[in-house]
Amino acid sequence: MQFQVPQFIDLEPKIVGPLTLKQFLFIASAAIPAFLLFFILKFWLWIIIAAVLSAIGVGLAFVKINGQPLTKILVAAFGYFWQPRFYLWKRTEEQIEIPKLPKIGATPAPKAPLKDLLLKISTTTRPIEKREKPSKSLSLFRITKETLETFRKTTGERDAARRVDYR
């Protein structure tokens, strides 16, 4: 079954000649005061005010910024500037507990099977038996043993960390 899909649904119908109803109302709302001011003001002053009014009317009727009509942008800008804004940033410090690493040469404490598996998966360069096949790309690279390295922190205290070489 085929269905007819409507196209150009974002276009407004043309009511007054080539203008939509909104465009016509914006231009008319600028033209009417300009017409009335013609009889009240001097000619040179009327030219200036009529040019400003017509520019505003044409801008509201036809100008689009990033596909949005100028009226929508002006309403959003007015709302942004008119509403009070109060930004408060309060820093929160999270306490992170760092596990102590075993001393060099000490035997590690027995671990839970899931933590041990996670450690193997994330740090080993060899495949887990009966689960993974050896990678052909690993044979091209040198497989190194995992070692613990000692380093000095910025506070001056010494600590040990596992070194993983991914070459």
pLDDT at 2 over 60: yes
Q: Which of 14-23, 98-107, 113-122, 125-134 has the lowest mean pLDDT?
A: 125-134
Determine the pLDDT at residue 156: 73
pLDDT at 103 over 90: no
* 157 confidence band (pLDDT: 50, 70, 90): confident
Determine the pLDDT at residue 3: 81
Average pLDDT over residues 128-145: 55
For 24-80, the pLDDT digits (tens) are 999 999 999 999 999 999 999 999 999 999 999 999 999 999 989 999 999 999 998
Contact (Cβ atoms closer than 8 angstroms) between residue 51 and residue 59? no
Which residue reads 């930004």 in tokens? 87
Q: What CA–CA distances, in Å, run from 23 to 8, 66, 104?
A: 18, 18, 80
Contacts of 109 by beta carbon, 8 Å cutoff, 6+ apart: 102
pLDDT at 106 over 60: no
- Backbone dihedral region for residue 11 (phi beyond 0: left; psi -120 to 50: alpha; all else: beta): beta
For 19-38, the pLDDT digits (tens) are 999 999 999 999 999 999 99
Determine the pLDDT at residue 59: 95
For 137-154, the pLDDT digits (tens) are 554 455 555 566 777 777
Average pLDDT of the chain is: 78
* 125 confidence band (pLDDT: 50, 70, 90): low
**The pairing of beta strand 158-163 with beta strand 68-69:** unpaired
Determine the pLDDT at residue 90: 74
Separation CA 142–CA 116 (nearest Å): 24
SS3 at position 7: coil
Contacts of 154 by beta carbon, 8 Å cutoff, 6+ apart: none
